[in-house]
């Protein structure tokens, strides 16, 4: 175990690039999740090597039609000194089609925040800026089993992973959303076992997800766990899997995609 070279997670770097894009289509997937298709010639060389990549999304300031986006330089992003910076948040490249110059992002419509507010009123023709992805962690698909865990913010990555896994791959998805109206259908050729849990049934946020993970049976063999969602919940999920279930730390990638009461949080979780 743990020496199969085909199972090594690899890091890929991409040149940093900022792109100005326009909304081509807005499609509500559920009352709580909206898919926005962006387009622009800047996408001709867009690259995203992993389902858990992210782009930094720049939103127009109130009253402006376009976001202020930085210039890429060898030392990183350079912001114009004379302009107020745009608000920026991280989102998953859910699908892209270089030939068609399209990129889909999916926005969880939570109560308050510039990104969620932008998505709730997004219309064809609106502008957004994106930066990156700067790099990717490529998790091989050849594990004996995969476990994907997350909340609404992880749905785009989970949906993309399920589309990318080869036919017959053994995968379980354990997902917490607000209530059954937030469920989506996944397109996958993998052998998927999915568990949906609802915050409406739980005493506290993350409680339903943690309980479902505790109840998840883990097969033998070489597996990989990927988890993303609210910070405190992800910490508890990772703690349980590593310390109580014996998952090797090289076989789990857990990240905070947001944090209750804080803005724009992204943390990879390790010890």
Ligand X SMILES: Cc1cc2nc3c(=O)[nH]c(=O)nc-3n(C[C@H](O)[C@H](O)[C@H](O)COP(=O)(O)OP(=O)(O)OC[C@H]3O[C@@H](n4cnc5c(N)ncnc54)[C@H](O)[C@@H]3O)c2cc1C
Closer of 215 and 267 to ligand X (Cβ):
267
Cβ proximity to ligand X: between 144 and 163 the closer is: 163
Closest separation in Å from C-beta 257 to ligand X: 4
Comparison of 14 and 259: residue with beta carbon closer to ligand X: 259
Residue of closest CB approach to ligand X: 113
CB 164 to ligand X: min, Å: 15
CB atoms within 10 A of CB 207: 16
Long-range contact pairs involving 236-239 (C-beta distance under 8 Å, separation at least 24): 236/206, 236/210, 237/149, 237/209, 237/210, 237/213, 238/269
* CA dihedral of 166, 167, 170, 172, whole degrees rounded to 10: 80
Decide whether 94 or 146 has the Cβ nearer to ligand X. Answer: 94
In the bound complex, what is the minimum distance in angstroms from residue 242's beta carbon to ligand X?
21
Q: Is 214 left (phi over 0), alpha (psi -120 to 50) or beta?
A: alpha
**Rounded least distance, CB 154 to ligand X, Å:** 7
Task: Write out the two tokens for 63.
Answer: 């009253």
Structure tokens at 148: 């994907």
Where does this chain bind ligand X (CB under 6 A)? 54, 89-92, 106-108, 110, 112-116, 152-153, 156, 257-264, 266
CB nearer to ligand X: give 215 or 260.
260
In the complex, minimum distance from the CB of residue 11 to ligand X, in angstroms, rounded to a whole number? 15
Would you report the helix, strand and coil content of the chain in percent, each value rounded to 5? 20, 35, 40
Helix spans in the chain (H): 114-120, 155-164, 207-214, 231-239
């Amino acid at each position: 175990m743990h020496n199969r070279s085909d199972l090594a997670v690899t890091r890929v770097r991409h040149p940093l690039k900022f792109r100005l894009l326009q909304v081509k289509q807005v499609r509500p997937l559920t009352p709580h999740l909206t898919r926005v298709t962006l387009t622009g010639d800047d996408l001709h060389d867009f690259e995203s090597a992993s389902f858990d990549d992210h782009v930094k999304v720049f939103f127009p300031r109130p009253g402006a039609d376009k976001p202020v986006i930085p210039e890429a330089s060898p030392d990183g992003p350079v912001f114009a000194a004379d302009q107020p910076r745009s608000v920026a948040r991280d989102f998953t490249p859910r699908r892209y089609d270089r030939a068609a110059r399209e990129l889909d992002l999916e926005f969880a419509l939570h109560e308050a925040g510039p990104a969620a507010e932008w998505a709730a009123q997004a219309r064809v023709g609106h502008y957004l800026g994106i930066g990156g992805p700067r790099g990717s962690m490529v998790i091989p698909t050849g594990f004996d089993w995969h476990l994907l865990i997350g909340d609404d913010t992880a749905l785009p990555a989970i949906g993309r992973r399920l589309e990318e896994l080869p036919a017959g791959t053994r995968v379980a998805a354990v997902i917490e959303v607000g209530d059954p109206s937030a469920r989506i259908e996944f397109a996958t050729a993998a052998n998927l076992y999915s568990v949906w849990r609802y915050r409406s049934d739980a005493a506290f946020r993350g409680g339903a997800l943690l309980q479902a993970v505790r109840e998840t049976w883990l097969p033998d063999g070489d597996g990989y766990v990927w988890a993303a969602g609210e910070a405190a919940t992800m910490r508890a999920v990772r703690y349980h899997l590593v310390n109580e279930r014996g998952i090797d730390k090289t076989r789990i990638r857990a990240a905070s995609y947001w944090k209750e009461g804080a803005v724009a949080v992204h943390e990879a979780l390790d010890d």
